[in-house]
Structure 1
Amino acid sequence: MQDQPEPREILATVAAFLRDTVVPESRPRTAFHARVAANAIDLVSRQITLAGTSDAAERARLVQLLGEDLPLAEANEALADRIAEGAVGPATPGLMEHLLATTLAKLAVDQPTYSGYRAALADAPVAKD
Structure 2
Amino acid sequence: MPPPHDAPGPGELVAAVREFLERDVLGALSGRTRFHALVAINVLGIVERELDLGPGQAERHRARLRDLGFPDDAALAAAIRDGALDDRHAELKDALTAMVRDKLAVADPRHLDD
TM-score normalized with structure 1 length: 0.79
Query: After TM superposition, which residue ranges in structure 1, 4 or more long, deviate above 6 angstroms?
Result: none
Structure 2 stretches of 5 or more lacking a match? none
**Alpha carbons 1:19, 1:38 under 8 Å: kept:** yes
| Distance (whole Å) between structure 2 residues aligned to residue 113 and residue 101 of structure 1 | 16
Return closer, same or farther for 1:22/1:78 CA change in 2, 3 Å cut-off: same
Name whichever structure is richer in helix by fraction.
2
Q: Which residue of 2 aligns with 1:55?
A: 58
Q: Which residue of 1 aligns with 2:83?
A: 86
Q: Which residue of 1 aligns with 2:93?
A: 96
Q: Give the SS at the match of 2:7.
A: coil
In angstroms, what is the RMSD of aligned CA positions? 1.5
Q: Quick one: which amino acid aligns to residue 42 of structure 1?
A: G
Once the two structures are superposed, what CA deviation does each residue of 1:84-104 show, in whole Å capped at 9, x if it has no partner? Answer: 011113634521110011011
Once the two structures are superposed, what CA deviation does each residue of 1:92-128 show, in whole Å capped at 9, x if it has no partner? Answer: 45211100110110000001122xx1x2xx3xxxxxx
Q: Quick one: which amino acid aligns to residue 108 of structure 2?
A: Q
Structure 1 stretches of 5 or more lacking a match? 123-129
Q: Which residue of 2 aligns with 1:106?
A: 103
TM-score normalized with structure 2 length: 0.88
Q: Quick one: which amino acid aligns to residue 56 of structure 1?
A: E
Question: Percent identity of the aligned residues?
Answer: 35
